[in-house]
Amino acid sequence: MQIIISNSSKEPIYEQITNQIKSSILAGELQEGTAIPSMRNLAKDLQISVITTKRAYEELEKAGFIYSIVGKGSFVAEQNLEVIREKKLKVIEEQLGAVITNSREIGLSLDELKQLLKILYEE
């Protein structure tokens, strides 16, 4: 499991961890049932305090991404990927709607917008 944290980022470290584990799970890199490192081992490896990884794991558990069994460790929970995909798509639609509204306001054409999107997407 690869996690890279930045101490200078504005995003709190526990959030960096939860976000990266979430995306690994959503991208299918971490399969259902896979054991993830214990929070104490992760803290040592990332050279951060235990309470930070503890908080990250707690949030992941709350959001249903992982589950913990006392004495055994934490595992990737079963994900209903269809549902998650659907939800994400809905968010993307909303956000694109806002983009389009803004674009019309300043007279940005569809082609120009596509161009901009292409550049940003490939960045």
Partner 1 sequence: MENVVELKNVTKKFKGFSVKNIDLQVKQGFVTGFIGANGAGKSTTIKMMMNLLKPDAGEVKLFGLDYKTHEKAIKERIGFVYDGNIFFEGLNLKDIKRIVAPAYKQWDDTLFYQYVEQFKLPLNKAIKTFSKGMQMKASLAIALSHHAELIIMDEPTAGLDPIFRRELLDLLQELMIEGNRTIFFSTHITTDLNRIADYIAFMQNGELVFNQSIHDVAENYALVKGGLNLLDSDTEKAFVHVHRASTGFEALTDNIKAVKNTFGDTVVFERASLEDIMYYLKGGIHHV
> Using CB under 8 A as the criterion, which residues of the chain lie in contact with partner 1 when the complex forms?
7, 12, 14, 38, 40-41, 43-44, 47-52, 55
CB-wise, 25 or 46, nearer to partner 1? 46
d(CA 20, CA 116): 26
- Between 25 and 39, CB nearer to partner 1: 39
- In the complex with partner 1, the residue whose CB is nearer, 18 or 55, is 55
Q: Return the structure tokens found at 10.
A: 């504005």
Q: Is 74 helix (H, G, I), strand (E, B) or coil?
A: strand
Please provide the size of the chain in residues. 123
Contact 53, 39 (CB under 8 A): yes
CB of 55 to partner 1, least distance (A): 6
